[in-house]
């Protein structure tokens, strides 16, 4: 989800998007990655007792917000940067778009995939003389190498494909889902390209939210029937009773691109609205409305999160959408207002440190769980022994998060950026 233009030189028009940079969007990428990093950290390394609905409990729910923000933001960024390129309807332009996205995602992905394989318990079992799990890893590997591990409901030796490698590789389901979005994007762009007024685009976004929320809620309401069908077709390993996290229902509602694409499309619609409005200065009335909307959307993120996970929620629809679309409208409004209007939030998101961390957000996402795994497996007492008081425990957790960010900034500078530059240059030489 790069804002710096991930176009390729496969086609002259696709070399570099012409859209001006929007630093606030880069800052939001860090917010999304940090949300996932915080949530996973509370599970693995934060040594604070988790009582029902304590602060730790709510921090663990932050990954849901982070993933939704990633997907809506991705739709916005892709449409904002590549709308004109893809609408050329030329195969070379589309190839350039895909190559740019490949250059953005693959180098760091392949490095971390190799590390996950080394950390996988299947490799440890192979060294100990048990090859069964490693054979399953080899069966799953082609899907990971082609970014398709989240596309298919497959269980290998009772393990879902999205967990088929082990290590920190289960996190890469979102990258696979994102790659599906890229392939589908030209069709989305063609549906949005016709001239529409700002009011019509706003109405389109609202109608889309209603339609997709109804669709996702319909699937949730039919969970028992879907679960029974999945067990009949894929076997007991696909059932909720066997393992909720590895079930077909969980894959369908949370990981599969076929349901999560609703968030991506919403981001594209909001980007089209922004593109149509950016030529016009915001009036005083619009600015005041925008300031109110950004405050409302920020508050709604907390309210909807509470309704998603609190006992006996007042509004049941959010509980039915808590694996996918519940927070998407709030994220869409937040993104639009952050780039359309100047406000304290957009100013903060545009500061140099936040933008730098936003540039490294992909590395943060891929690295953080590996760091947590190493801490847990090495069992270093200074990191794993419960601290004598809450302040020290939080300080230790903050130090771990800081290390992750520093490592991510380093890998971005040494791996991500140089590899992307080399791949673009390679495409230019081919052309």
Domain boundaries, the chain: 12-430
Q: What is the pLDDT of residue 426?
A: 83
Q: Closest by alpha carbon to 259, among 163, 171, 323, 207?
A: 323
pLDDT of residue 415: 94
pLDDT of residue 69: 96
For residues 154 and 237, give the distance between their C-alpha atoms in angstroms, rounded to a whole number: 10
> Shortest CA distance to 296 belongs to which of 340, 339, 329?
329
Share of the chain residues as helix, strand and coil, in percent rounded to the nearest 5:
75, 0, 25
CA dist list (Å): 193 to 204, 272, 332: 13, 8, 19
* Statement: the pTM of the whole predicted model exceeds 0.85: yes
Instruction: Report the C-alpha gap between 106 and 103 in whole angstroms.
Output: 6
Q: Can you tell me the distance from the alpha carbon of 415 to that of 303, in angstroms, rounded to the nearest whole number?
A: 39
Distance of CA 216 to the CA centre of its chain: 18
- Number of other residues whose CB lies within 10 A of the CB of residue 38: 18
What does the pLDDT read at residue 107? 95
What's the chain's length in residues? 431
Q: What is the pLDDT of residue 195?
A: 67
Which pLDDT value is given to residue 94?
81
What does the pLDDT read at residue 384?
A: 63
Residue 47's pLDDT is: 75
Per-residue pLDDT of the chain (431 residues; tens, 9 = 90+): 333 333 322 233 333 455 678 999 999 999 999 999 999 999 888 877 766 677 888 888 999 999 999 999 999 999 998 888 777 766 777 888 889 899 999 999 999 999 989 888 788 778 877 777 788 889 999 999 999 999 999 999 889 999 989 888 899 999 999 999 999 998 888 888 776 788 899 999 999 999 999 999 999 999 999 999 999 999 999 999 999 999 999 999 999 999 999 999 999 999 999 998 888 888 888 888 988 999 999 999 999 999 888 877 667 788 899 999 999 999 999 999 999 988 888 899 999 999 999 999 999 999 999 999 888 877 766 666 666 677 888 888 999 999 999 999 999 999 999 999 999 888 777 76
Measure the CA–CA gap between 153 and 162, rounded to whole angstroms.
9
User: Would you state the torsion angle of the CA atoms of residues 340, 343, 346, 349, taken in this order, to the nearest 10 degrees?
Assistant: 170
109: left (phi over 0), alpha (psi -120 to 50) or beta: alpha
CA distances from 21 to 30, 186, 283 (A): 16, 22, 23
CA 110 to chain centroid, in Å, comes to 18
Q: By the 8 A CB rule, do 239 and 232 touch? A: no
Show the tokens assigned to 360: 């490294």
């Amino acid at each position: 989800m790069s804002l710096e233009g991930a176009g390729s030189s496969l086609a002259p028009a696709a070399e570099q998007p012409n859209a001006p940079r929007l630093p606030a969007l880069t800052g939001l990428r860090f917010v999304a990655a940090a949300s996932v990093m915080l949530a996973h950290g509370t599970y693995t390394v934060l040594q604070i007792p988790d009582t029902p609905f304590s602060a730790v409990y709510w921090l663990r729910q932050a990954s849901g917000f982070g993933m939704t923000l990633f997907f809506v933001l991705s739709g916005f960024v892709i449409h904002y940067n590549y709308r004109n390129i893809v609408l050329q309807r030329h195969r070379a332009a589309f190839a350039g778009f895909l190559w740019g996205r490949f250059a953005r995602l693959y180098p760091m992905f392949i490095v971390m995939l190799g590390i996950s394989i080394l950390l996988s318990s299947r490799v440890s079992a192979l060294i100990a003389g048990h090859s069964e799990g490693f054979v399953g890893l080899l069966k799953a590997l082609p899907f990971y190498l082609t970014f398709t591990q989240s596309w298919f409901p497959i269980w290998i030796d009772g393990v879902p494909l999205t967990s088929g490698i082990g290590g920190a590789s289960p996190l890469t389901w979102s990258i696979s889902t994102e790659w599906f979005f890229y392939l589908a994007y030209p069709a989305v762009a063609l549906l949005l390209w016709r001239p529409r007024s700002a009011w019509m685009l706003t109405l389109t976004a609202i109608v889309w939210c209603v339609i997709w929320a109804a669709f996702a809620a319909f699937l949730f309401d039919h969970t028992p029937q879907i679960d029974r069908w999945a067990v009949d077709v894929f076997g007991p390993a696909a059932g909720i009773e066997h393992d909720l996290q590895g079930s077909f229902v969980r894959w369908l509602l949370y990981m599969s691109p076929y349901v999560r694409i609703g968030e991506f499309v919403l981001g594209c619609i909001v980007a089209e609205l922004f593109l149509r409005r950016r030529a016009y200065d915001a009036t005083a009335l619009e600015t005041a409305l925008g300031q109110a909307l950004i405050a409302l959307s920020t508050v709604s993120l907390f309210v909807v999160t509470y309704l998603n996970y609190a006992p006996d929620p007042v509004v049941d629809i959010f509980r039915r959408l808590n694996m996918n679309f519940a927070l998407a409208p709030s994220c869409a409004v937040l993104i639009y207002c952050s780039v359309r209007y100047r406000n304290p939030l957009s100013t903060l998101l545009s500061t140099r440190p936040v933008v730098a961390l936003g540039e490294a957000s992909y590395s943060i996402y891929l690295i953080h769980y590996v760091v947590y795994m190493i801490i847990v497996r090495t069992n270093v007492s200074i990191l794993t022994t419960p601290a004598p008081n809450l302040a020290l425990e939080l300080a230790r957790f903050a130090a771990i998060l800081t290390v992750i960010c520093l490592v991510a900034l380093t890998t971005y500078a040494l791996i991500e950026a140089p590899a992307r530059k080399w791949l673009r240059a390679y495409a230019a030489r081919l052309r």
